[in-house]
Chain A
Amino acid sequence: MTMAGRTASRTGVAGAHPPPAARRDLGWIGIPLVAVAGLAAFWLLPDDLALLTRIAASALFVLSLDLVLGYGGIATLGQAAMYGTGAYAAGIAAVNWISDPFALLAVGGLAGGLIALVTGALILHAHGLTLLMLTIAVGQIVQEIANKARDWTGGSDGLSGIDPAPVLGLFRFDLYGRTAFLFALAVLVVALMVARRIVRSPFGLACRGVKEDPLRVSALGGSPKSYLVALYAVAGVFAGVAGALTAVTSGIVGLDSAGFPWSAEALVMLVLGGTGRLYGAVIGTAVFMGIHHILASSDPFHWMGFIGLFLIGIVLFLPGGIASGAGRLSALLSALARPGRDGGRA
């Protein structure tokens, strides 16, 4: 108990990494597990598909944040800038020009990636609180532009009238949300696979190198900043696709999609699930939004207090996030089985 508490407070984020072997195993299981869990939810909770669709799209957004934070070590409170840009780009395209859902996702991803590339190149020289403030400022400016460009975005009324064509020309987006959910789930699973490829590629490993020791990367001849900007842009594509996915499945985009609270909420969901492990983003989102939903539908007044206590509890007792819970539990058990040793961590 003592040891667990102490390691926890020492490490925070970085210490949440399990040994490489465990990571590989869990990583393989993770993606099919998400797909199976999603399909199971589809059969078991046919009345909650609207919520499940939002969870899937939000999980993709949180995943993009995990790429930035968990693999690049960039602390940001402005990820919604990319999400909102993607959502608005897809929404505007849908209202004016195209209606194919896949094309809309591409538009959103492109827009999100572009804005991330431009702003990333501008702000990623900074660190810590300064970087945090810069990301917030970028998010606020994107939101303000969306508010001002009323003719295109609908301003504070929201951009409505997005009516995407049937998926593959066959499956209409119906009232019960069946198509929307399966579509969102498929996009999420594909995105998880792509993200996994990226973080395991030489580029992904280099980014992790930058996160852990930027000096060494520059000593080896790499430019830490350009790696981070590239990673930021890649994550921007993911966030943009997530925004477009929300626009396509919900048919509406609001100013809140680029807002500061949404960025902060994503961060909370990510840390709740655990950073730097991809599927932590999915777990965190599902748990956070699930709890929010249950609490808000029975007694909305207490939901904030409850989620607040939950967050404090996570930090104090489960610092690696929910996804680390299983690993920590087994470590604790083996430590108890061999008293006197502390799990071979030293």
Chain B
Amino acid sequence: MTSTLRTALLGTAFGLLMAAAGPLLGPLAGPAAAATIKVGVVAPFSGPFALVGKTFKEAIEVYQAQHGDKVGDDTVVFIYKDLDQANPAQSKALSQELIVKEKVGYLAGYYFTPDALAVAPLIDEANIPCVIFNAATSAITEKSPRYVRTSFTLWQNTVPLAEHMAKQGIRKVVSAVSDYGPGIDGETAFKTTFEKNGGTVVDTIRMPLKSTDFAPFMQRIRDSGAEAIYAFLPAGPTTLAFAKAFADNGLKDAGIKFFGPGDLTQEPDLPTLGDAALGITTSFNYSRAHDSALNKTFLAKHKEMFGSTDSVTFSSVGAYDGVHVIYQMIKNTGGKSDGAKAVDSVKGMSWESPRGPLTIDPQSRHVTQTIYLRTVEKVDGKLENVEKVAFEKQPDYGYKVGK
């Protein structure tokens, strides 16, 4: 009898839970109103990279709060689609749905390279512009003339860094990258540039993407006798483990210098990295600590709307500036949907962003921007990427270099 009771109780509890979860889901997006221009954003909103989706969404909302949600008479509405991990087939299906069902005039977002690459045939067939907020492999914009990118590429960040390292008199370096597209882009960019400037890359290590224990790689770096390392891993859990392993295995104390693109020390990870991050030198297109009036207004508005700026990082400005480009496209085309024309209209466009001056290169449709050399330091007891040197007007060196 007790078992009947228990089954019944469990059933009730379960039913209640389902009922409680129902309202959380909220209503679906309503039908299109007149003079509404829809922008579909595909990004991870759940899963290990959920933070990226959050930064995109927050940046978009900040931009709309600052500049209004209207361009001329048209209201701009953003529709979000969750793509929790790199899954090109799913990315294509979601984008297709956005175009066919939601009738979006613009596609945006895309954190992972494969997800961005997957939509090339779609945007060409539907003649829709696609503004990439992050995906950083150089080859993407070669695949369709309707891609515009407001983030960065591995080449763009790595070339000035490698030149800087060579100028500092560093001669022997190990490159350690995650074994996937962008990692290999970074390795190639580094090796090419650094060796051209007279340095030697003594070992190139490609680490499996899923590694969490980095001690063996540290041993290998140590045994190679390098003075410094160039490291790239995708932002997230692995980066933390890598930076910690670097400090814990005594490489930091042994005086080996740590360089890499700024993904390694993205702002939301800094508190978790703790003191292990101190002294890591990275090159990147944005630091939350960037000293400019525009950045301060951006951060202030963000804080006002979301209570804190802890999550603000490179993907925030990627989205923020991406929205700016979309607004310009809408303005230039008078709200008519013509992807090719919209993209043409922003080629060569320059503007001032929270990260500094930006120009859309007419050839690569990628932003030419200032790359900053930063070192992790404590500012008012909080870890920040403090900018040391600025390399102005850096284009995407990887465009049409081939693999």
Instruction: Indicate yes or no for A touching B, C-beta below 8 A.
Output: yes
Q: Which residues of A contact B (CB under 8 A)?
A: 1-2, 5-6, 47-51, 53-54, 147, 154-158, 160, 163, 175-177, 246, 250-257, 294-306, 309-310, 312-313, 316-317
Report the Cα distance A43→B27, complex, angstroms: 24
How many A-B residue contacts, CB cutoff 8 Å?
145
A112 to chain B, nearest CB (A): 17
Main secondary structure of the interface of A (DSSP, over half): helix
Q: A50-B93, A250-B93 are in contact. Are A156 and B180 (CB under 8 A)?
A: yes
> How many B residues touch the partner, as a band?
35 or more
Alpha-carbon distance between A300 and B57 when the two chains are bound, in angstroms? 13
| Complex-state Cα separation, A53 to B90, whole angstroms | 11
Q: Is the CB of A305 within 8 A of B21?
A: yes
B131 within 8 A of A: no
Q: When A295-B25, A297-B28, A300-B46 are in contact, do A157 and B137 touch as well, CB less than 8 Å?
A: yes
Interface residues of B in 364-381 (CB under 8 A from A): none
Q: Name the residue of chain A whose CB is nearest to the CB of B85.
A: A256
Contacts of B125 in A (CB 8 A): 175
Nearest CB on B from A232, distance (A): 25
Is B300 in contact with chain A by the CB < 8 A criterion?
no
Cβ-neighbour of A160 out of B1, B26, B120 (below 8 A): B120
Residues of A within 8 A of B28 (CB): 294, 297-298
A177 vs B100: C-alpha distance in the bound complex, in angstroms?
A: 9
Q: How far is the CA of A5 from the CA of B1 in the complex (A)?
A: 12
Q: A-B pairs with the 5 shortest C-beta distances?
A: A300-B82, A47-B101, A158-B114, A156-B180, A158-B88
Q: How far is the CB of A47 from chain B (nearest CB, A)?
A: 4
Say whether, besides A5-B7, A252-B92, A299-B25, A156 and B97 are in contact (CB < 8 Å).
Answer: no
Q: Is the CB of A302 within 8 A of B89?
A: no
Q: Which residues of A contact B27 (CB under 8 A)?
A: 298
CB A254 to nearest CB in B, in angstroms, measures: 4
Contact of B117 among A6, A158, A299, A312 (CB under 8 A): A158
| Distance in Å: Cβ of B33 to nearest Cβ of chain A | 17
Cβ–Cβ < 8 Å partners of B389 in chain A: none
> Which of the listed residues A51, A160, A305 has the most CB atoms from chain B within 10 Å of its own CB?
A160
Shortest beta-carbon distance from A49 to chain B in Å: 7
Q: With contacts A147-B179, A250-B92 known, is A50 near B82, CB below 8 A?
A: no
Residues 23-38 of chain B, each 1 if its beta carbon lies under 8 Å from chain A, else 0? 0111111000000000
Residues of A contacting B81 in the complex (Cβ-Cβ under 8 angstroms): 296-297
- On whether the beta carbons of A160 and B86 are closer than 8 Å, the reply is no
Determine if A175 and B99 form an interchain contact, defined as CB atoms under 8 angstroms apart. yes
Complex contact A157–B181 (CB within 8 A): yes
Q: How far is the CA of A1 from the CA of B11 in the complex (A)?
A: 11
Specify the main secondary structure of chain B where it touches its partner: helix
**A309–B86 alpha-carbon span in the complex (Å):** 25
CB contacts under 8 Å to A, within B66-113, are: 80-82, 84-90, 92-94, 96-97, 99-101, 113
Give the residue among A48, A49, A54, A297 with the most B Cβ atoms within 10 A. A297
Chain A residues lying within 8 Å of B80, measured Cβ to Cβ, are 300
> Which residues 309-367 in B have Cβ within 8 Å of A in the complex?
none
A157 touches B7 (CB 8 A): no
Measured CA separation A177–B96 after assembly (Å): 9
Contact B21 A156 (CB under 8 A): no
* Residue in B8, B122, B139, B181 whose beta carbon sits within 8 Å of that of A175 in the complex: B122
Note all chain A residues with C-beta closer than 8 A to B97.
Answer: 47-48, 50-51
Q: Are A304 and B46 in contact (CB under 8 A)?
A: yes
A156 near B89 with CB under 8 A, answer: no
A298 and B117 form a contact (CB under 8 A): no
CA separation between A302 and B50, bound complex, in Å?
12
Task: Tell me whether A157 and B21 are in contact (CB under 8 A).
Answer: no
Closest chain B residue to A144, Cβ basis = B208
Known A-B contacts A175-B96, A296-B82, A297-B81; the reply to A246 vs B26 at CB < 8 A is no
Q: Decide if B45 is an interface residue (CB 8 Å cutoff).
A: yes
- Distance in Å from the Cβ of A308 to the closest Cβ of chain B? 10
CB atoms of A251 and B121 under 8 A apart: yes
Is there an interface contact between B10 and A254, defined as CB atoms closer than 8 Å? no
Is the CB–CB distance between B88 and A252 below 8 Å?
yes
Asked if residues A301 and B50 are in contact (CB atoms below 8 Å), the reply is yes
Q: Are B114 and A299 in contact (CB under 8 A)?
A: no
Task: Give the interface centre of A50, A54, A176, A310 by most chain B CB atoms within 10 Å.
Answer: A50
Of the A-B pairs whose beta carbons lie under 8 Å apart in the complex, a sample of 18, sorted by A's number, is: A2-B3, A48-B101, A53-B93, A157-B114, A175-B122, A177-B100, A250-B92, A252-B92, A253-B88, A254-B88, A254-B89, A256-B87, A297-B29, A298-B27, A301-B46, A302-B21, A316-B11, A317-B11
Check if A316 sits within 8 Å of B85, measured CB to CB.
no
Shortest Cβ gap from B290 to chain A (Å): 30
| B45 engages A300 (CB within 8 Å) | yes
Asked whether B7 lies within 8 Å of A2 as measured between CB atoms, the reply is: yes
Asked if B401 is at the interface (CB within 8 A of a chain A CB), the reply is no
Q: Count chain B CB atoms within 10 A of each CB in A49, A156, A163 and give the residue with the most.
A: A156
Return chain A residues, CB-CB under 8 Å to B21: 302, 305-306, 309
In the assembled complex, B17 has its CB within 8 A of some CB on chain A: yes
Residues on B with C-beta less than 8 A from A297 are: 28-29, 81-82
Q: Counting CB contacts under 8 A, is B293 at the interface? A: no
A253-B89, A312-B14, A317-B11 are known contacts. Are A160 and B118 too (CB-CB below 8 A)? yes
- Complex Cα distance, B10 from A53, in Å, reads 37
Shortest Cβ distance from residue B195 to the other chain A in the assembled complex, whole angstroms? 22
A49 to B7, CA, bound (A): 40
A309→B20 CA distance, assembly (Å): 12
